[in-house]
Amino acid sequence: MKRNYLKFLIILAGDALIVPFCYWAAYFIRFGTLFGFRYSFSPVFLFMLTFAYIVVFYFFDLYVMPRQTRFGAVVSQFMFAIGVSAILASLLKYLFFLFPIGRGILVIANVLIFVLIFSWRKAGSLLFRYMIKPRSVLLIGTGEGTDEIIRILESNPREFHFFGILMNEEPKDVAFASVKDRVIGPIDKLTEVLEENAIEIIVLTDTAGKHKISADGLIRAHLRSIEVVDVPGLYKRLTGKIPIDFIQDENWFLQTKGFTLVNDHLAGKIKRLFDVVLSSCSLLISFPIWPFIAFLIKAESKGRIFYSQTRIGKNEIPFSLYKFRSMVEGAEEAEPVWAKENDPRVTNFGRILRKIHLDELPQLWNVLRGEMSLVGPRPERPEFVAALKKEIPFYALRHFVKPGLTGWAQINYPYAASTKDSKEKLEFDLYYISQMNLIFDLKIIIKTMLGYLSWKHKKK
């Protein structure tokens, strides 16, 4: 949507001014003069510095205005992003100009950046509230998911204005009683409504039934630059998941970009290279602590250090997934049960491993072997997959891609301890597949790291 790009560009432009200004101010505060600033911070380096901060901010989602997010979580996100940016700035200065940024300047500049960047976003949020009016949304018909779309629109009055509904008969099955009062006429009034009102989005709730919009209506909408979407498409954009209850045909998924890229060999090779490089680096960095983990596992309980379990991978091919053992020996040899957050089978040290996710380090070997990816749907046990495929529509689609060490569902939803939870997580997994690309993978990895560092990231 154009207004989202406008918000992004305005906030980015402010950042592009704030970063060099803060280093300029820090230099003056540190030395009491600007003499020598141009030598230490040449225009080329200031450009590289600013670009580095903007790239880090982008991957840490600092250009997305958070909705109903706790203040502490937002502050932590900003502090971590600025900390990573400061480290990257120091590396750039040393690598390209063979001279580090002074510690005093670095600390002062980044404190100023934190204050101004945070304040700029708060000011921008207020500015957008007055400058940019809510998008006016018109619904055509009352098909599957209409009530849910209305609920989402009306819960975000700053962003959306629910204009009304055009339909050819009275609504019967819509959960919102007030919807009857929002029917503004039959569908053949579409042209009149578009001419008299600033409609920006048309939502087709019944693309094949009685409330199907005419070709002439679609043409008129496109000529006015009005976006025409179906219920699953809008729901996907607003919630970050795909509503499987509102999709009747599997072909809907095959029309999305991510599902068409599944068999793209070049994209697959790039993702594979990304997996191999990052998993190799992670193994090298983490390997020195493996002996300590092994010792503590053996010291607390008898049994194996490593634990393997059959899971289902891409194209429903089974493979052996590896972990550090976090449960008592033989805990999962009986009938498989759903994992729980406070599982009594978990040992005391295993609880710590799970809390900081160190039990999953051996899965980096699965990534190197090509059985898993760093990012993707979490692999499930064959017994659960067989049952879930029968109970949840489109469940098999999650096996279009390799399972992941982390994923979009893992950072958005807690333990899947039931069929209902698995359905919810599937909707996030399908969204990931539909949007799958390397930048999205990097964002998910960063969000996962932020969750680990805050100790609020629940094990999936």
Rounded to whole angstroms, what are the CA distances from 47 to 97, 102, 105, 195, 337? 13, 18, 17, 47, 55
- Interatomic CA distance for residues 322 and 340, integer angstroms: 19
322 pLDDT exceeds 80? yes
Task: Identify the band that residue 207 occupies on the pLDDT scale cut at 50, 70 and 90.
Answer: low
- Interatomic CA distance for residues 68 and 390, integer angstroms: 36
pLDDT score of 337: 64
| Domain 135-239 part of CATH 3.40.50.720 | yes
pLDDT, mean of residues 243-252: 83
Nearest to 306 by CA among 355, 348, 378, 366: 366
pLDDT score of 11: 92
pLDDT score of 144: 75
Task: Identify the band that residue 255 occupies on the pLDDT scale cut at 50, 70 and 90.
Answer: confident
pLDDT, mean of residues 7-32: 93
pLDDT score of 169: 67
| Average pLDDT of every residue of the chain | 85
Dihedral pair phi/psi, residue 91, rounded to 5°: -65, -45
Distance, CA of 252 to chain centre: 21
H or E element in which residue 247 lies: none
| Residue boundaries of the structural domains of the chain | 2-131, 135-239, 260-454
pLDDT, mean of residues 67-80: 74
Q: Mean pLDDT check: name the lowest of 254-258, 310-314, 434-438.
A: 254-258
pLDDT score of 339: 62
Secondary structure letter of residue 396 according to DSSP = G
Dihedral pair phi/psi, residue 57, rounded to 5°: -60, -40
H or E element in which residue 215 lies: helix 215-223
pLDDT, mean of residues 35-47: 90
Tokens of 292: 């300590």
pLDDT score of 332: 64
Secondary structure (3-state) at 209: coil
pLDDT, mean of residues 284-310: 90
Secondary structure letter of residue 224 according to DSSP = T
242 pLDDT exceeds 80? yes
The answer to whether the CB of 460 falls within 8 A of the CB of 409 is yes
- Interatomic CA distance for residues 402 and 374, integer angstroms: 9
338 vs 384: which has the higher pLDDT: 384
Rounded (10°) angle between helices 438-454 and 419-435? 140
Q: Determine how β-strand 306-312 pairs with β-strand 183-185.
A: unpaired
Our CA dihedral for 215, 216, 219, 224, rounded to 10 degrees, sits at -140
N- to C-terminal Cα separation, the chain? 32
**Percentage above 70 pLDDT, the chain:** 87
pLDDT score of 336: 65
Q: Mean pLDDT check: name the lowest of 84-93, 190-199, 304-313, 381-390.
A: 190-199
pLDDT, mean of residues 310-329: 91
Q: Mean pLDDT check: name the lowest of 57-61, 261-265, 390-394.
A: 261-265
The answer to whether the CB of 116 falls within 8 A of the CB of 141 is no
271 vs 125: which has the higher pLDDT: 271
pLDDT score of 456: 44
453 pLDDT exceeds 80? no
Tokens of 238: 């607003």
pLDDT score of 409: 93
The 10s digit of each residue's pLDDT in 172-198 is 555 555 566 778 888 888 888 888 888
68 pLDDT exceeds 60? no
Secondary structure (3-state) at 135: strand
Evaluate the CA torsion angle 426, 427, 433, 438 in order and state its sign. negative
Contacts of 97-102 with C-beta under 8 Å, sequence gap 24+, read 97/42, 97/45, 99/40, 101/40, 102/30
Secondary structure (3-state) at 249: coil
217 vs 82: which has the higher pLDDT: 82
pLDDT score of 326: 86
333 pLDDT exceeds 80? no
One-letter-per-residue 3-state SS of 25-82: HHHHHHHCCCCCHHHHCCHHHHHHHHHHHHHHHHHCCCCCCCCCCCHHHHHHHHHHHH
Q: Mean pLDDT check: name the lowest of 27-41, 111-125, 244-258.
A: 244-258
